Amino acid sequence: MAEQADSRGQGLHARLLDALGPAITAGEYPPGTVLRTDEVAERYEVSRTVVREAVRVLESMHLVESRRRVGLTVLPTAEWNVYDPQVITWRLAGADRPRQLRSLTVLRSAVEPAAARLAAESATPQQCAELTEHALGMVATSRGHRLGEYLEHDVAFHRVVLNSSGNEMFARLGDVVAAVLTGRTRHDVMFSDPRQEAVTMHVQVAEAVREGDGERAESVMRNITVDAMAELDVLAP
């Protein structure tokens, strides 16, 4: 029975986060809004313990600040941990999705080409093999409306590039890029079948990294991010 109660509590905690997080990031609770624990508990029909657990997570993301005798104050956007994958996911679910996608794609265009160049210089044989495996996986799943399977290879491909760069700061952005690619797919900011030119460029990056051609790896990866921005112009104007 205790195990069931604990499982139910975790479910309520997750449900409250899934309600409060998107509401805050979408502006339903503008910065400066004060939320009281009792009111939140009553509105969402959960205990104050569940509210406190959810608040701890929101505080770790710098979305809210909790003060005694005041309640929960929604913080300005400038203070949010905008690199948190969950915050990214919530923001992509809101009306500000096009601007958020552009912001994240600009970040990718600044980081991933440099990471690809470094990967060509330092990737291990195992990492080169993984890159090739996922690039070919993207080719194999790029037809027949198999976006879910394609996404798995796409996310894994970009993680390997970032990890094999040998730069720990780039590697830590793997979850950020994964959240972007996942959000783009889930919210239909993708063609039903990926463009073959984009798929081919991923294969070319894998080849350049395997051959140690940093200049080509960087150039092709830059073209991938430019292509991603062009897709946004069409699908999320």
What digits encode the pLDDT tens for the residues 85-132?
999 999 999 888 989 999 999 999 999 999 999 999 999 999 999 999
Q: What is the pLDDT of residue 11?
A: 84
pLDDT-based confidence at residue 71 (cuts at 50, 70, 90): confident
Sign of CA dihedral 9, 15, 19, 24: positive
What digits encode the pLDDT tens for the residues 191-203?
888 999 999 999 9
Domain identity same for 210 and 163: yes
Report the CATH number at residue 218: 1.20.120.530
The residue among 48, 79, 110 that closes a domain is 79
Sign of CA dihedral 156, 161, 162, 164: positive
Strand runs (DSSP E) across the chain, as ranges? Answer: 34-35, 64-67, 71-74
Q: What is the pLDDT of residue 2?
A: 39
Domain identity same for 198 and 148: yes
Evaluate whether 117 touches 215 at the Cβ level (below 8 Å): yes
Domain identity same for 126 and 213: yes
Domain identity same for 197 and 93: yes
Q: How far is the C-alpha of 23 from the C-alpha of 164, rounded, in Å? A: 37
Domain identity same for 61 and 89: no
pLDDT-based confidence at residue 4 (cuts at 50, 70, 90): very low
Report the CATH number at residue 69: 1.10.10.10
3-state secondary structure 165-200: CCCHHHHCCHHHHHHHHHHHHHCCCCCCCCCHHHHH
pLDDT-based confidence at residue 10 (cuts at 50, 70, 90): low
Domain identity same for 164 and 190: yes
Domain identity same for 69 and 146: no
* Average pLDDT score, the chain: 91
Q: What is the CA radius of gyration of the chain?
A: 21
The residue among 79, 94, 122 that closes a domain is 79
Domain identity same for 7 and 58: yes
What digits encode the pLDDT tens for the residues 135-163?
999 999 999 999 999 999 999 999 999 99
Domain identity same for 156 and 66: no
Q: What is the pLDDT of residue 7?
A: 38
What digits encode the pLDDT tens for the residues 169-192?
999 999 999 999 999 898 888 888
For 51, the domain range is: 2-79
Q: What is the pTM of this model?
A: 0.86
Name the strand (E) or helix (H) holding 36.
Answer: none
- How many structural domains compose the chain? 2
Q: What is the pLDDT of residue 237?
A: 74
Q: What is the pLDDT of residue 198?
A: 94
Domain identity same for 94 and 54: no
Average pLDDT (43-58) is: 92
Domain identity same for 64 and 154: no
Q: How far is the C-alpha of 85 from the C-alpha of 80, rounded, in Å? A: 12
Average pLDDT (70-94) is: 93
Q: How far, CA to CA in Å, does 7 sit from each of 51, 114, 213?
A: 16, 44, 51
The residue among 79, 102, 131 that closes a domain is 79
Domain identity same for 104 and 207: yes
